[in-house]
Amino acid sequence: MPVWGVKALAVGSGVVVSAVVVAVMLAVAPTQVAVAAVIVLAVVVAVANHRACEALAAAVMLRARRLRPSERDELAAVLTELCRVGLGPPLVELRVKRSRAIGALGVGRRTVVVSTGLIEAVVLGDLPSRQAAAVVAHSAVLVREGLTRADLLIGCVSAPWRAMRAAVRGICRCGRRLPFTQAAWRLRAIVVAVAVVQAVQLGQFGLATTVGSIGALSYALPAWEHRWRDLLVRTGDEGVVQAGLGDGLVEFLRQCPSSDATSARLRALVLPAVRRPASGRPVVLRGAPDAR
């Protein structure tokens, strides 16, 4: 499946649901209010999708600001590494978002948002500049490959969907304390099947189709989103390796909390640098790109 198809499956449901919700709200609103709302929405969508307004969209949607002169000086070594491999300014514009996590996020056509936690870790010496450069380069690769080009627009359009998901997750967190809640969720296929059969018996085919679609989507959507995330991670990792920063990414991942996903990434990065000679003993080639 092409990349655009994988992304469409991962984000398409949110866009469709949000469009339906907005359409229903506009249909029941007074005419003047609906017209004004349509104009405002059109302007917001145009701004979110326009290249010249990308910085403004990132500031509004992600609360990401420009680098301060002091922060630029603190990241001088990181920026040097990124520019050396063609993944830094001016091809990529770095912005900053307040967050304690150490990370970076690529959005739009040329924007990479770094966390204040990453900058602080570099300043304190907890995160070597080469590792920080690898983290930022991972997001810059996704921006360069065009995989994040419409993310600001998608985030704007799918705002109702994200709000509903956040509300549902909050309710689910509270519901986990109730007995049999998790078992009921795992067996939701049976509940959906019974509801569909009952709706069909009553002749309510539209309701049966809706319930069945929601049930199928509850299984399919997490799989589609997981596939898209895996594609982003794999593409970013491969780009970092090709840029010559694979060793920094490996060292950073080794400091991250252990998980199946992190272990899989480390295996994918390290194993290509291992070869088996005629003796059958694995040897790490000195000329290989640093344990990638």
- Rounded to a whole number of angstroms, the CA Rg of the chain reads 23
pLDDT tens-digit map of 158-213: 999 988 888 877 877 776 666 666 777 778 888 889 889 998 988 888 888 988 98
Q: How many angstroms separate the CA atoms of 54 and 70, rounded?
A: 23
Which residue ranges in the chain fall short of pLDDT 50? 275-292
**Which 8-state DSSP code applies to residue 1?**
-
159 is a domain residue = no
169 is a domain residue = no
Q: What is the pLDDT of residue 177?
A: 67
Percent of the chain exceeding pLDDT 70 equals 90
Cα 282 to its chain centre, rounded Å, is: 36
204 is a domain residue = yes
Domain enclosing residue 233, as ranges: 179-267
146 is a domain residue = no
192 is a domain residue = yes
Give the SS3 label for residue 283.
strand
184 is a domain residue = yes
Alpha helix stretches (DSSP H) within the chain:
3-28, 31-49, 54-62, 69-74, 76-84, 116-124, 129-144, 151-157, 159-175, 181-186, 188-201, 205-242, 246-255, 260-270
CA neighbours closer than 13 Å in the CB half-sphere of residue 279: 3
Both ends of the chain: CA-CA distance in Å?
27
Number of domains in the chain: 1
Q: How many angstroms separate the CA atoms of 18 and 14, rounded?
A: 6
Q: Show the tokens assigned to 204.
A: 């309510």
Q: Cβ contacts of residue 39 below 8 Å, gap of 6+?
A: none
Q: What is the pLDDT of residue 272?
A: 62
What is the H or E stretch that residue 148 is in? none
Q: What is the pLDDT of residue 175?
A: 66
- pTM value is 0.84
Using alpha carbons, list the distances in angstroms from residue 214 to 22, 102, 171, 218. Answer: 19, 36, 18, 6
211 is a domain residue = yes
109 is a domain residue = no
Q: What is the pLDDT of residue 206?
A: 87
